[in-house]
Amino acid sequence: MLELKSRVESASPHGLVGLLYEELIRSLDLVLHSVRKGYNLAGNSHVAKAVSIIVALEGSIDFDAGGDLAPTLARVYAACRKELNEAAKKNDEAKLTEVRDAISDIYYAWQALQPG
């Protein structure tokens, strides 16, 4: 936890979004682990954390500077949030994996945009 605090304190705005992606992927991995172990996801704290991070990412979109990408990204986040909630209600591993993969793809694209 101390390492994360240090990373947050020293991160650029771009880096902070990257940290959100990392924490989101970690939470989704824990959700998937719970499903694979046969746990019911109702009230699962990792699902709640993942949803909260997606909401934070949605709120971080700069619609003025984001051009055509901003509304598209907002739709993707909204769809991921919806799919995550629905998949968690049904303990649907395949849908959870789809959400995790979509977020992972966005994260890798975000990393590639890292300012020099």
For residue range 14-43, list pLDDT tens digits in order.
778 888 999 999 999 999 999 999 999 988
DSSP 1: -
Span 78-109, pLDDT tens digits? 999 999 999 999 999 999 999 999 999 999 99
- Predicted TM-score (pTM) above 0.95: no
Query: Angle formed by the axes of helices 45-59 and 13-36, to 10°?
Result: 150
Q: Are 21 and 107 in contact (CB under 8 A)?
A: yes
| Torsion-angle region of 40 (φ positive above 0: left; ψ -120 to 50: alpha; else: beta) | beta
Residues in CB range of 86: below 8 A, 6 or more apart: 92, 95
